[in-house]
Amino acid sequence: MLASVRHRMTDMANLRAIPSVEQAAQALEPLPLPRPMAMSVIRGELARLRRSKSIPPRSEILEQLGKRLHETALSRLQPVINGTGVIIHTNLGRAPLAPDALQLLQQTASGYCNLELDLGSGKRGSRGLYVEQALALLCRAPAATVVNNCASALILMLRLLTRDKPEVVISRGELVQIGGGFKIPEILEATGAHLREVGTTNRTRLADYAKAVSKDTGLILKVHRSNFFMEGFVASPSTGELSTLAKRKRIPFVEDLGSGALIATEAAAGIEHEPTPAEILRQGVDLVCFSGDKLMGGPQAGIIAGRRKLVQALKQDPFFRALRCDKLVLSALQATVEAYLDAGGGKAGLPKDLPAIRMLTAPPAPLKKRAQRIADALSGAPAIVQVVERNARIGGGTLPRSELKSFAIAIKPLAASASALAALMRQASPPVIGTLAEGFFHIDLRTVFPQQDPAIIQALGAALNRNPLT
Ligand SMILES: *Cc1c(COP(=O)(O)O)cnc(C)c1O
């Protein structure tokens, strides 16, 4: 009884320890966020505290508030160093842009630009006309256009082609999920299309497609297995076989290529061959779509290439207006496409200065040298520091089987866990993102820009010498 009264009294005293929002904000200056944002975080946290059973002393309250502000500040969009070895990392923003792309983007976006003005005639011009022509050339297609991302490209094509005939013929082996929240069957159904599934998960034959085609078939859709592979008792008709069937039945044939490599991946990086839009179109596909920010190495965009009549019809769909790209994307895309065209369309040579392509094709020896230099700089730190060979991946739901020989620095702190080190590195400035394996924290040099090496040394040194590490 007495104990409980005493308890209540301390609680009351502590309740008085709860500062007002203003008092807390003042005590926590300088705030790491715009004031209204910081106030909102503090208000929420204090309200939660008032509802809780036990109220800590004011110093603890302030410490807690400081932590919440710091967490919110960390969640602001900011550059990070990618030490995961995954080149197209969706969580880390996929492809980094080329310097030329950034320069053009900066110039067109910081002022005005001729987005929809024909400078020759002085009349209203067509948005994206030049980049569409350049993309068509790059894909060796009669025509091309561009929307916000590959998912919207797919939706746009489905809407158009199922307007009069609602069925989409697709293999059960291709009703897949691509990354978080992108499920092909859901996308298809959201457009109002009716799925006409054929074959089984592991085997679909040309005859299955042929049997499924009816007067209600609007298109045949093939989805490239970009983020997984199947082995064993598997079969599916080739793009060429399917396009012959589609032509015979007079049905449009569309392929969602996803990653959209524009270079010969096998020659450039010694990995498996990733089909290019040009070669898919050569096999008779009517329309192909792919992402701008995967293997192409540009901004987020969905590129559609193929038959002129179909591309024009897509552009006339009222929905196209809702999916169109802005000047930022079109600027970055134009510079990216030109980098390929300057390199002979990906045939003669590799596009210069595209970070994703440079990382994909970087030889391992210099990576090892850089890892060794970082390890040397950390000698004396309270940790086991090694240079290890490992396999980097392409990522972004592309080439799941392909691995690139790479080198990483592997660090195991003497006084703490590798995951504690990983957590500290995520809060460095800039944050450094690595991976954990066998008790070590790994930073793979393939995805680190060489000019970021000093920042890694600095962040690792600071984290390892922090006492205590956690
Ligand atoms: C990644 C991918 C998509 C989605 O592309 P976004 O540009 O992210 O919308 C669609 N289809 C395939 C096959 C993909 O690999």
Interval 94-148: pLDDT, tens: 999 999 999 999 999 999 999 999 999 999 999 999 999 999 999 999 999 999 9
What would the DSSP string read from start to end of 343-387?
TTTTTSSPPTT-HHHHHHH--HHHHHHHHHHHHHHTTTSSEEEEE
Helix%, strand%, coil% for the chain, nearest 5: 45, 20, 35
Is the CB of 413 within 6 Å of ligand 1? Answer: no
Q: Is the pLDDT of residue 66 over 90?
A: yes
Specify the residue with its C-alpha closest to ligand 1, atom 11: 258
Q: State residue 200's pLDDT score.
A: 83
Mean pLDDT for the stretch of residues 376-392: 94
CA distance 382 to 305: 55
Is the CB of 104 within 6 Å of ligand 1? Answer: no
Average pLDDT, rounded, for the chain: 92
pLDDT band at residue 424, thresholds of 50, 70 and 90?
A: very high
309 or 393: whose pLDDT is higher? 309
Q: How far is the CA of 259 from the centre of ligand 1 (A)?
A: 7
pLDDT band at residue 235, thresholds of 50, 70 and 90?
A: confident
Mean pLDDT for the stretch of residues 328-346: 92
pLDDT band at residue 250, thresholds of 50, 70 and 90?
A: very high
Sequence-ordered list of residues with C-beta below 8 angstroms from that of 156, at least 6 positions apart, any chain: 147, 304, 314, 317, 319, 320, 323
371 or 470: whose pLDDT is higher? 371
Sequence-ordered list of residues with C-beta below 8 angstroms from that of 116, at least 6 positions apart, any chain: 124, 125, 126, 127
Q: What percent of the chain clears pLDDT 90, i.e. is strictly above it?
A: 77
Interval 429-468: pLDDT, tens: 999 999 999 999 999 999 999 999 999 999 999 999 986 6
Q: How far is the CA of 302 from the centre of ligand 1 (A)?
A: 8
Is the CB of 182 within 6 Å of ligand 1? Answer: yes
Ligand 1 nearest atom to the CA of residue 292, by list position: 7
Specify the residue with its C-alpha closest to ligand 1, atom 6: 150
Is the CB of 175 within 6 Å of ligand 1? Answer: no
Q: How far is the CA of 130 from the centre of ligand 1 (A)?
A: 24
Is the CB of 221 within 6 Å of ligand 1? Answer: no
Specify the residue with its C-alpha closest to ligand 1, atom 2: 258
Q: How far is the CA of 364 from the centre of ligand 1 (A)?
A: 29
Amino acid at 423: A
Ligand 1 nearest atom to the CA of residue 227, by list position: 15
Q: State residue 219's pLDDT score.
A: 97
Indicate the pairing of strand 143-147 with strand 302-306: antiparallel
pLDDT band at residue 174, thresholds of 50, 70 and 90?
A: confident
Q: State residue 8's pLDDT score.
A: 57
Query: Are 398 and 295 a contacting pair, CB within 8 Å?
Result: yes
Specify the residue with its C-alpha closest to ligand 1, atom 10: 258
Mean pLDDT for the stretch of residues 210-219: 96
pLDDT band at residue 349, thresholds of 50, 70 and 90?
A: confident
CA distance 289 to 146: 9
Sign of the Cα torsion 324, 327, 333, 334 reads positive
What the block records as the tokens of 39 is: 């106030």
Query: Are 95 and 57 a contacting pair, CB within 8 Å?
Result: no
